[in-house]
Amino acid sequence: MKKFLVLGVLFLLPIVAYLFFSSGVNHFAKLPILTEQVDDVSHLETAAGSPVSFKDKITIVAFFGNDLESLKGNTYNLDQKILNKFYKFKDFQFVIVLPKSAKDNADTFVREFDNITNSDYWKFVYGTPEEVKSIFQSFQTNLQLDTNLQTPFVFIIDKNESLRGRDDDEDLGLLYGYDSRSVSELNNKMSDDVKVILAEYRLELKKYKAQIDK
């Protein structure tokens, strides 16, 4: 029995170690809060007419400005590497913040993308340039919108309307947003971090249910 036990430990230990290190440190900790209480988008116009809010949702936020044509590749990357993986989660949403002047372009943009993806999971909100800038500035990042009110970086907002990201990223240190131009960054860093925050809320839900059942 001792021989079998020793052999079992020797066999399993490398596998457990591999799974631990390959999963990444963020799987075993909460995703850091970088900015608390960002401005909500519930006051902005929407394509569907019903209000959109960050509250009680895990939200991927993009500021894609007026020049949507130049961001087609970025949107495709997000759709394939993030949205397709997580859209089935009840409290997950993808919100694109645009100036009102981009409405017509956004409609055309959606029709074109309907041929390759389900754009029903995208939520568009529209504001004045000042409103778009104000919401972005409330994130308090080290990034900026360009003259078209756009950035290729996208953000994770939690159910309490706080910005999540990394405070010990191996490349940047503080990672406020994820570069939608980079398939590698979306596929590795952002996908990993979304999994972390979803697991975090699932764990909280289990604890809540356990307390009720007592």
Which residues are CB-neighbours of 65 under 8 A, at least 6 positions away? Answer: 71, 98, 99, 102, 145, 146, 148, 149, 150, 151
User: For the domain with range 31-213, which CATH number is right: 3.40.30.10, 3.90.228.20, 3.40.50.2300, 3.60.10.10?
Assistant: 3.40.30.10
pLDDT at residue 70 is higher than 80 = no
The letter for the amino acid at 43 is H
Rounded Cα gap, residues 163 and 175, in angstroms: 11
Read off the pLDDT of each residue in 126-144 and give the average, rounded to a whole number. Answer: 97
pLDDT tier at 26, thresholds 50, 70, 90: very low
Q: What's the CA gap between 54 and 52, in Å, rounded?
A: 7
Q: Which amino acid appears at position 34 of this protein?
A: L
Q: Which of 21-25, 40-44, 123-127 has the lowest mean pLDDT?
A: 21-25
Out of 55-59, 119-123, 160-164, which region has the weakest mean confidence (pLDDT)?
119-123
The pLDDT of residue 47 is above 90:
no
Q: Which of the residue ranges 3-7, 39-43, 155-159, 200-204 would you say has the lowest mean pLDDT?
A: 3-7
Q: How many residues does the chain have?
A: 214
Reported as a pLDDT band with limits 50, 70 and 90, residue 2 is low
Stretch 48-71: mean pLDDT, rounded? 90
Find out whether 128 and 44 touch, Cβ atoms under 8 Å.
no
165-211 pLDDT, tens per residue?
999 999 989 999 999 999 999 999 999 999 999 999 888 766 545 55
Q: Which residue has the higher pLDDT, 175 or 115?
A: 175
Where exactly are the structural domains of the chain?
31-213
Percent of the chain with pLDDT over 70: 81
68 within 8 A of 106, measured Cβ to Cβ: yes
